[in-house]
Structure 1
């Protein structure tokens, strides 16, 4: 399928002499929802920050549609990202926040109403962000990411604070977004939700990609995503852990 994909190759980053990310390589394809998971401190956030040009890598490439984020002609019209739901000023109304970010991205301010409807916050546009629940702030963050009608979404823990109905809504939204030929890279700690939301999986552990491939192959041995995840990241995996054809694992991670 044609479209704008993500390709990370040989990505590496050290902080104070410690490897946060080492030789990370994976892809996220158009038309697919790709889950990006790993234990705390595994390197997920650092990888996403390098992908979005917020942290400079020491080595490797992180390309979106074949280009670095900083080289994209229309960054917010190509990539919508949610890494921090605290970005909205609590004293602004949701409408003011969205219109400001639309103008900063070079998009029509009327897009604020369109994305508010998409994310279910139209009735709250004139409320101040400081009065929002965590779930409503998540929806506002996603609405902000959608202002440029992007081809790619990069989301870090987007279901935090959502109630069960909100989680189902988010899952449906991301599925429909990908079905339109677009790309979703989704990081989450909620493994039970990822199992229902993603097509492909990238598992990062201790700065290395431990597994990459279709979710169906990861759980092909009849185990849940949670059980397979714990097996591959505990260092005590059994010989029957997923190792299906077409999937990759990093040497030294036992399965």
Structure 2
């Protein structure tokens, strides 16, 4: 499928002598929602930060449309990212925050109003961010990521703070975004969010990508995503991929 995808190959990062990420390799494809799943401390956030040029890898490459993030001609017009919802100053209005980011990214100021409607914050544009709930901050962060109409969305725990209706809205929004030919890569610890919201799955455990493929393939050997996840991340679990071959999970690609 044509479009702008994500390619990660051999990424590695050590902190104070500890391997945070080891030889991570996977792809996220246009037209698909790819879930990035792993236990706490597995290396998800570090991998995403390397992809976005916020952390320098010790080895390997992370490319967006075949180009490292730092070399993109139009970074915020190519990639929209939500890694931290604490970035908006509490004294600013949502409109002021969005217009400031429009100016920083070289986007039209009118984009602030354009992204407010699909993210459900139009009625809150003139409220100060400090009065927002966690869920509203999350929506504002997503709106900020959308200002450049990016081809790729990279989201770390995007459903944090959202109520059940908000989670359903987010799931629908991301599926529609991917269906337009964009690439969506999201990390989450909410297994139900991934169970019903993604097409493909990348599993990272102890800093290493241990499985990559479609969600249907991953859950084929379990009654649910939760069961399959626990099976393949448990210390007692056999390190084999949930495919027919039974090959070692380390390095297996579906």
- Residue 192 of structure 1 deviates from its aligned partner by 1.0
Provide the residue aligned with 1:201 in structure 2.
Answer: 201
Provide the residue aligned with 2:90 in structure 1.
Answer: 90
Q: How does 1:142-161 map to 2 (within 5 A)?
A: 142-161=142-161
CA distance in 1, matches of 2:4, 2:17: 35
Q: Is the 8 A contact 2:28 2:184 kept in 1?
A: yes
- Residue 12 of structure 1 deviates from its aligned partner by 0.3
Q: How does 1:98-113 map to 2 (within 5 A)?
A: 98-113=98-113
Provide the residue aligned with 2:79 in structure 1.
Answer: 79
CA distance in 1, matches of 2:112, 2:189: 30
Tell me the matched-pair count: 251
Distance 1:244 1:83, change over 3 A: farther
Q: Is the 8 A contact 1:13 1:57 kept in 2?
A: yes
- SS of residue matched to 1:216: helix
Provide the residue aligned with 1:179 in structure 2.
Answer: 179
Residue deviations 1:8-66 (CA, integer Å, cap 9, x gap):
00000011111110100000000000000101110001000000000000000000000
- SS of residue matched to 2:158: coil
Q: How does 1:105-144 map to 2 (within 5 A)?
A: 105-144=105-144
Provide the residue aligned with 1:217 in structure 2.
Answer: 217
Q: Is the 8 A contact 2:239 2:248 kept in 1?
A: no
Distance 1:161 1:248, change over 3 A: farther
Q: Is the 8 A contact 1:20 1:46 kept in 2?
A: yes
TM-score (norm 2): 0.95
List, as ranges, runs of 4+ consecutive aligned residues in structure 1 with deviation greater than 4 Å: 238-241
Q: 5+ residue gaps in structure 1?
A: none
TM-score (norm 1): 0.95
- Residue 233 of structure 1 deviates from its aligned partner by 0.6
Q: 5+ residue gaps in structure 2?
A: none
Provide the residue aligned with 2:16 in structure 1.
Answer: 16
Provide the residue aligned with 2:39 in structure 1.
Answer: 39
Provide the residue aligned with 1:28 in structure 2.
Answer: 28
Q: Is the 8 A contact 1:212 1:249 kept in 2?
A: no
- Residue 244 of structure 1 deviates from its aligned partner by 4.6
CA distance in 2, matches of 1:167, 1:134: 13
User: RMSD across aligned C-alpha pairs, in angstroms?
Assistant: 1.7
Provide the residue aligned with 1:68 in structure 2.
Answer: 68
Residue deviations 1:101-149 (CA, integer Å, cap 9, x gap):
0110000011000000110100000000000000000000000000000
